[in-house]
Every structure is written in C-alpha cells, then in structure tokens.
Amino acid sequence: MDERTKILFNWGISDTTGWGIYGLNLLIYGNKHRKYDLRAINKANFLYPLDPFVSKIIAEKTNLSHPIALKQDDIFLAALGADLLSPRNNKYRHIGVIFHESNPLTKEHVAHLNKFEFIIAGSSWGASILEDHGIKTQTVIQGVDLDLFRPTPKKHLKERFVIFSGGKLEYRKGQDLLLKAFSVFASRHSDVVLVTAWRSYWENASALGSINRSGICEPLHSTKDANQAIDDWTFRNNINPKQVIHLNIVPNRLLPEVFREVDLAIFPNRCEAGTNLVAMEALAFGLPCLISINTGHLDIIKSNNCIPLNQQKAIHEEGRMGWGESSIDEIIDLMEAAYQGKLKTDPTTIRKSMEEYSWEHSIQSMLKLF
C-alpha cells in the first residue's frame, strides 16, 4: 500500500512558459522525494521533443483518466493567476502558489488568500506584500537548469555585437525602454543587432497594447498577426530592419542556442513578481546582464554577477506601488560601455551566482514546507 503523501497541482506543464517550466521541474524533482507522489491535473504541451526519461515521468504523472482521491493530509497546490482565484476544498490541505504584481491587494483578494493554509510566493518582494496584508506566506525562489544553461561560444553572429531582450511583450517587462535606448545606440554602430524573444502563447492584443502605456515609443498597433505588429513597431521607432532579429516562441531547451550568440542581455523590467526566469537562465549561461534593481529582481542581483540598473523612478499608478522605471540614458550609457569593452564581467563569477538556484534545490525547498 502506497503511504506517500499525494500532491496535485493545477498549472500547466510546458517548455514555453514560466509556469510550464515550473510544473515540469516540480514533477521531475518532486517525485525524487520518497515521501511524496506528485501529479499534475493538466496535460503536458511541449514545442520541443522531450528526452525519453522525462517523457516517461510525464506519462506516468499526468495520466489522470481515473480521478485521484485526496485524503486529509494530501495537498492540492493551486496556481493563483492574475485574478488570484482558485477552487477550494476543505477535505485536504489547500496551499496557494502565486506570482503577483499588484500592490496593494484589494480587500477581496486578501480575504480569498487568507482561506488557504498558506501561500507560496515566488520572490521576497512578493512575499513581503502578502505579509503586509496579514497573509501567511512562504517564499520559494524558482530554479534554473544548470546543466542546460552553461557558457558556450558563438556560432552564427561572431561579427556582430548582440543585445538580447526576452520576456512577454508588455508594459511590465519594459521593452519600450529597451527599444528607445537601442534606437539611439544602434544609430551609432552599424554592427550591433537586437535579438528579441518577446512572443508568448499568453500574448493578446491587450497585453501587447499595454506597451504603449508609457508613451515613450511610437505606439504599437495590435493586429491579429503579432509578428507583423512587432516588426512594424520596431521599424516605426527608427531601427534599421537589418539590426533586429525577432524570434518566434523559443522552447526552453533551445534558448541556450540563442544565448550563445549574445554579448549583453538587458532586463529593464518595471516589475517581476518572481525573480525573472529568463534573467536567471542568462546569468547561469554566464552572460553579462543589465538588470533593473527593483521588485523580484532583488533576489538574483548579487555582488559582481550583473550590472544593476540603479536609476529607478518610482511608478505612481494604482496597484503598482513598488514598481520602478529604468533610465533610458543609463541603459544607453551601459550598452556603450559594454560595446567598448569597459564593463568588466567574468562569466565564471556570473554563472557561479546561480549555482544555489538549481531546480532541484528550489523544489526541495518547497517540499520542506509541507
């Protein structure tokens, strides 16, 4: 008779979203623990083929054709999205997992979150907001695949100075700041190129259109063809088409093939509810990174592991207390310094800063809370 504690979770498993990568690693490393039997409610959806061993785990742990009865000591992990809502059931332990940008929370959200045994937050910043609202909270920092993300030499763009920008295109991620800065920087140097990984299965006209909130750039016009909308937005902001490469959705296992071509990654995000998984992966790869010193980024900025974007203007908007807006001038100056070889960064030091953030360590940290 199996006496292991059952844990079910209700978010997706994939190689193209942060939640999906979280779910995948929860299954892989959670099931190494003899005390727990972890299973996912949702089916897996992968853009890139899985290795045979992971495929076997997925097949075994996502096959819920027969309902699994949870007992009193079993656990249901509920992903709490933008609306913070999730099913409730008092027959077993109910624990929430959240990555939230809203600050402060509404009274309705606070009341709902207080119904859970406790909430797992993806960053110290996020946890502090919940705690300030009187919500019982634990912090679990997401992980990074240290075997997958490791330094490798350039293959395709050896003669170009490559800037990378990643993350779903939206106001919160600050791509408008990066684009404005790059338009100035690129006008000075014909050999620089911007590589973007902005596409997402979660993108929609509203999210894309949010990039216009700041008014910093010429507006993006949302259309059914997001690729065309992004191309048009870039070109209308005075960037030569030969100096930008917009990638389609990149599966996680192929992201190192992008990183190997990069000279500088830039993350001017206004807010990160978690720690920014793409930034963690860039650091694990050993890339020089400019990272805005605000919100969830504070958990991954260490001594000498990146170049912090220190100039942060407070954003005074409803629900966005604690967000920060990076200085375009500072981004330009630091891009120029990197291009001139004046930013002294060590790939070994950068990568070493992520060694304590393996996915195995992250998942084991979570399981210790139960």
What confidence tens digit (pLDDT) does each residue in 68-96 have?
A: 888 999 999 999 865 555 556 668 999 99
Structural domains in the chain, CATH included, are 5-144+358-367 (3.40.50), 161-353 (3.40.50.2000)
Instruction: Evaluate whether 309 touches 331 at the Cβ level (below 8 Å).
Output: yes
Residue 42 has pLDDT above 90, yes or no: no
Q: How confident is the model at residue 306 (pLDDT cuts 50, 70, 90)?
A: very high
Average pLDDT score over residue span 245-253: 96
What confidence tens digit (pLDDT) does each residue in 100-154 have?
A: 999 999 999 999 999 999 999 999 999 999 999 999 999 999 999 999 999 999 9
Tokens of residue 344, six digits = 């002294």
pLDDT of 18 reads 94
pLDDT of 291 reads 98
DSSP for 128-184?
HHHHHTT--EEE----B-TTTS-----SS-TTSEEEEEES-SSGGGTHHHHHHHHHH
3-state secondary structure of 237: coil
Q: Please give the model's pTM, rounded to 2 decimal places.
A: 0.95
Average pLDDT score over residue span 296-309: 96
pLDDT of 260 reads 98
pLDDT of 205 reads 65
Bridge partners of 40, per DSSP, are 9
Peptide bond into 308 cis (omega under 30): no
pLDDT of 88 reads 60
CA 3 vs CA 57, 365, 370: distances in Å: 20, 22, 15
Residue 370 has pLDDT above 60, yes or no: yes
Instruction: Evaluate whether 279 touches 297 at the Cβ level (below 8 Å).
Output: yes
Q: How confident is the model at residue 34 (pLDDT cuts 50, 70, 90)?
A: confident
Instruction: Evaluate whether 298 touches 122 at the Cβ level (below 8 Å).
Output: no
pLDDT of 86 reads 57
Helix pair angle (328-339, 175-188), 10° resolution = 50
pLDDT of 89 reads 62
Residue 204 has pLDDT above 90, yes or no: no
CA 150 vs CA 124, 263, 353: distances in Å: 26, 14, 12
Average pLDDT score over residue span 224-236: 92
Residue 187 has pLDDT above 90, yes or no: yes
Burial class from Cβ neighbours inside 10 Å (0-12, 13-18, 19+) for residue 113 reads buried
Radius of gyration of the chain (CA): 21
Distance CA 366, CA 370 (A): 8
Residue 216 has pLDDT above 90, yes or no: yes
Q: Starting at the earlier edge strand, list the strands of the sheet with 93-98.
A: 36-40, 5-9, 75-80, 93-98, 119-121, 137-139
Distance CA 310, CA 293 (A): 6
Q: Where are the beta strands (DSSP E) in 212-360?
A: 244-246, 264-267, 289-292, 307-309, 312-314, 324-326
Q: How do strand 307-309 and strand 312-314 relate by DSSP bridges?
A: unpaired
Q: How confident is the model at residue 186 (pLDDT cuts 50, 70, 90)?
A: very high
